[in-house]
Amino acid sequence: MIRFASRFAFPCIAAFAITISMPFSTQAQQSPAPQYPNYPSEMPDHLQPVTSSFDFVRREAMIAMRDGVHLHTVILIPRGAAHAPILLTRTPYSADQLTTHSNSAHLGPNLYGYDNAVDVILDGGYIRVIQDIRGKYGSEGDNVMNRPNRGPQNPTAVDESTDTYDSIEWLIHNIPETNGKVGILGISYDGWLPLAALIHPHPALKVSVPMNPMVDGWMGDDWFHNGAFREQNMPYIYEQIGTRDNTAKWWTSHFDDYDEYMSAPSVGELGHRHGLEQIGFWKKLIAHPAYDAFWSDQAMDKVLAKEFRDHGIPIPILLVHSLWDQEDIYGAPAVYKAIKPLDKDNDKVFMVLGPWHHGQEIEPADSLGAIRFGSDTGTWFRKNVLAPFLAHYLKDNAPAMDIAPVTAYETGENEWQKLPAWPTAPATKPLYLQAGFKLSFSAQAAAESSGAAIPSPQTSNSQPESFDEYVSDPAKPVPFRARPSQPVGYELPLTWPQWLVDDQREASGRPDVLTYTSDVLTAPLHITGQAIANIVASTSGTDSDWVVKLIDVYPDEVAGDPSLGGYQLAVAMDIFRGRYREGFAVAKPIEAGKPLTYRFPLPPTNHVFLPGHRIMVQVQSSWFPLYDRNPQTFVENIFWAKPSDFQKATQRIYHSPDHASAIELPIVP
C-alpha cells in the first residue's frame, strides 16, 4: 500500500491543485448560470388509491386520549358491514405492519398472522381495529415497557386501562357500521393489554381474550424466572425501547449466541457495551434484581385479584395458555389461579391450555418440533372455542356456545378434554430421587437405596454418602439447547419457538448434569397441574442456580417414527436462583456445604406418560445463554459480578431419609 501511494500521490495532488484554481478565474466569476425550462413533475402531490373494488374499507384515525396524546389507530371494515362487533388489539408492534401484510384487495391477506386469528375475524364479519400504544410507531406520547397501572409505580393520570377506555369511547361513536360491542384480544405483550383493559373497563367492552399474556416479568415470564435473568431478551429490550419504530438493531460479534454472551464478564457489562444504559427500562431492570415492590406492584395476577375482590369480575375472560410457551409460560395460569376463586357463578373466567409454542394457537398446529399431535390443534381451538366464545358475547343474536370452564389438551394421549376446573388432580405424590440415578414413588425404596449412593470423593474411607454430586463451572455453563445457540427469532432457519420440546439427550450426557430415570412404565400416568421440585441440595459456593427438568423418555424404538426412538421430551422445566430460597424480596447468601431444601413449582402440565415410556428428572446449575450465569459467589447484584466472582462449585443432590429429594407430581387417579 505504501508503494501504491508513492506512485500515485503526486499526480493526484497536481490534479487537485488545477481543480481548485479554476473557480478563481475571471471568466468563471462572470459567466451567468445557464437557464433551463422546468419540466412538469409526473408525480401527484398525494396519490389516492382507488379501493372501490376491495372487499374491505380501511380507515385511519388519531384518537385523542384524556391527556391530549393521540394514538394511531387502523380500522378495517368488511364492505357492506352493518351492526358488526369490533375486535380490538392494542400493540407495540406496529398497527400498519399488522394490517398491510399484502397488496391484496381482500381483507384476509392483509391481516398479518401475529394476533390475527384470520379465519375467526373473516368468518365472524368483525370490524378489525389495531392501535399503536403510546410512544410506538404512529402514536404520540412516551413509551414505557408494560406501563404500570395508576398507583405507586405510575403517579400520572393515564395508563393502558384509561387509553383502552378512551379508544373504545371514540370507536363506538365514530364507526357507524358497529353494533357498539367491543372485544379485546392479543398475544404476549398484546395479551397483557387485554388484562389491563379489565380495570374499570368501558361499558361497551364485552369480552377479553388474553392469549399467552405477560403477567409477572420477575416470577416466570419475560425478564426473570425465579430470580434468574433471561439474558437472551437483551436484544428485545434494545430494539423495542431504543426507538419508536424499532429501527435500532442489536448487533453481535459471534455466530453462536453462547459465545456472544460469554464474551462479556457480566450481563451489566454486556449491556454497557451495547449502550443499554440509555434505555430507561434497562436501568430499572438492573436496579431491581430482587422481587421488590417495583415488580410485585405490576404483577397483573395480583393487580386483578385485588381489583376483582373490590369490584367483581366485570366481563367474561378467556385465558389462552400454551403448554410449551417458550416466552410467557407463567402468565395465563397464574391469572386463572388468582381470579377463578372470585368467579362465584362460574361464568366469567374460562381457560384453554393447548399443546403450542408462544402464539401457535392462531396458526396451523398439528406439530411442534419433532412432536406430532395427529390433528390441527390450532384450527380446532379457533373453530370450537375462540369463534363461538366471541360470537356469543359480541353478536347481536348471541348464538349459543358450549364451552367448558377449562378446555385442556392432554399431551401424550393427544386429545382435548372439557374440564370443570384446573387442575383436576386432588393432590401431589412425590417421585423420589434415589441412589443409582433411579426414580421411585416408594419412600421406603428410596430410603433403602441411599446406602448404595456414589461414594464421596471427600471421604477417605469406603462408607458411601447419600448424595450425588457434580462440579458446576461458570466458565463452561450448560447450554440450554444444542450449539450453536440460536438467537431469539421466529423466521426460519431459526427454531426458537420449539426449544422447549428439544431432545434433552444433549444435556443428559454431560458430567455437570445429574439424570435420574424410572423403570419402564406398565400403565399410563396422567399428571395435570403443576409439578413441584422439592430438591435437597448443597453447594460449596455461597450462591447457586438449580435447574430441574421433568422429562418423558420415549421407548428405544418407536414404530412409525424412528426419529423419536429414545427421545427425551421435556414436559416441564424451570430454574430457581438459590439466593432467594428464604424469600424473593431479599437476596441472601447460601451457607456453603449445608444441605438445604429448594422448593419451587414447575410450569403447568396436562400430560400422560404412556406405557413403555420412562420418567426422567435432570438437575443442573446453569442454563445458558437463556439465563445469565450465577457466579456461585454471593454478590449484591449479579448484573455487575466481577470475573473473580465466578467460581467453580461442587453441587450435591441428596436422597437420604432425612434429606429426600423428590418431584411432587399432580397425578390424576
Mean pLDDT for the chain overall: 92
Tell whether the model's pLDDT for residue 452 goes beyond 50: no
Tell whether the model's pLDDT for residue 374 goes beyond 50: yes
Tell whether the model's pLDDT for residue 24 goes beyond 80: no
pLDDT (tens digit per residue) in 558-568: 998 999 999 99
Sheet of strand 514-517: strand arrangement: 514-517, 614-620, 545-553, 568-577
Please list, residue by residue across 12-36, b when 16 or more beta carbons sit within 10 angstroms of its beta carbon and e when fewer do: eeeeeeeeeeeeeeeeeeeeeeeee
pLDDT band at 444; cut points 50, 70, 90: low
Tell whether the model's pLDDT for residue 17 goes beyond 60: no
pLDDT (tens digit per residue) in 92-113: 999 999 999 888 999 999 997 7
Cβ atoms of 234 and 244 within 8 Å: the answer is no
The owner of cell 402464539 is 359
Angstrom CA distances, 284 to 125, 271, 379, 489, stand at 43, 13, 40, 25
E-strand ranges in 27-126 read: 56-64, 70-78, 84-91
> How many other β-carbons are positioned within 10 Å of the β-carbon of residue 175?
18
Q: Compute the Cα dihedral for 5, 10, 15, 21 and give only its sign.
A: positive
Angstrom CA distances, 592 to 309, 599, 628, 632, stand at 44, 18, 21, 10
Worst-scoring range by mean pLDDT, 21-25, 418-422, 503-507?
21-25
Alpha helices by DSSP H, listed for 244-376, are 257-262, 267-273, 280-287, 293-296, 300-311, 331-339
Mean pLDDT of 23-33: 60
Mean pLDDT of 9-28: 42
Mean pLDDT of 379-386: 98
499: closest CA among 327, 382, 636, 620? 327
Mean pLDDT of 29-54: 86
Q: Is 471 left (phi over 0), alpha (psi -120 to 50) or beta?
A: beta
Coil/strand/helix, residue 644? helix
Domains belonging to the chain, first-starting first, are: 56-218+295-419 (3.40.50.1820), 468-665 (2.60.120.260)
Q: Check residue 176 and give its pLDDT.
A: 98
Q: Check residue 465 and give its pLDDT.
A: 57
Mean pLDDT of 376-394: 98
Alpha helices by DSSP H, listed for 131-205, are 160-174, 189-196
